[in-house]
């Protein structure tokens, strides 16, 4: 994704970061609390440098922060970008809910024997 799009459109950056299943799994783990890179890498069959690349994408998207406490370098989940993505999706959830309600009402008007 071009850097200009990333800076100008945080929602696109968030969804791009969420597009990868490894990054989603990392966020799921961080939803349980802070973790080190080593702890985050443990369940995956990939190197710590590969995990670090995923963490950089998440960090650029504002989905995580990394801090330093002596040798402990914890990663922490940041909820604000997820909240913005959820708010955007909620609009479409309302649309689909209304569509399904209208479909349900239409189905109720059809004859039960299947003849139309």
Cross-strand bridge partners of residue 35: 75
The verdict on pTM exceeding 0.95 is no
Name, in order, each residue with C-beta under 8 angstroms of 75's C-beta and a sequence gap of 6 or more. 26, 30, 34, 35, 36, 37, 40, 55, 64, 65, 66
pLDDT value for 6? 44
CATH number assigned to the domain covering 3-78? 1.10.10.10
**pLDDT tens figures, 65-113:** 998 877 788 999 999 999 999 999 988 877 777 777 777 777 788 887 7
Helix (H) or strand (E) run with residue 75 in it: strand 75-77
Spatial separation of the C-alpha atoms in residues 22 and 7, rounded to whole Å: 23
**Calculated CA dihedral for residues 105, 110, 111, 114, nearest 10 degrees:** -130
**pLDDT tens figures, 27-40:** 999 999 999 999 99
């Amino acid at each position: 994704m071009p850097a200009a799009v990333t800076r100008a459109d945080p929602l696109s950056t968030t969804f791009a970061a969420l597009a990868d299943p490894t990054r989603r799994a990392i966020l799921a783990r961080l939803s349980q609390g802070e973790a080190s890179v080593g702890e985050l890498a443990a369940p995956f069959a990939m190197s710590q440098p590969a995990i670090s690349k995923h963490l950089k994408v998440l960090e650029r998207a504002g989905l995580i922060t990394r801090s330093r406490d002596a040798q402990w370098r914890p990663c922490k989940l940041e909820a604000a970008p997820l909240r913005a993505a959820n708010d955007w999706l909620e609009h479409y959830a309302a649309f689909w809910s209304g569509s399904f309600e209208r479909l349900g009402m239409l189905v109720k008007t059809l004859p039960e024997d299947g003849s139309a």
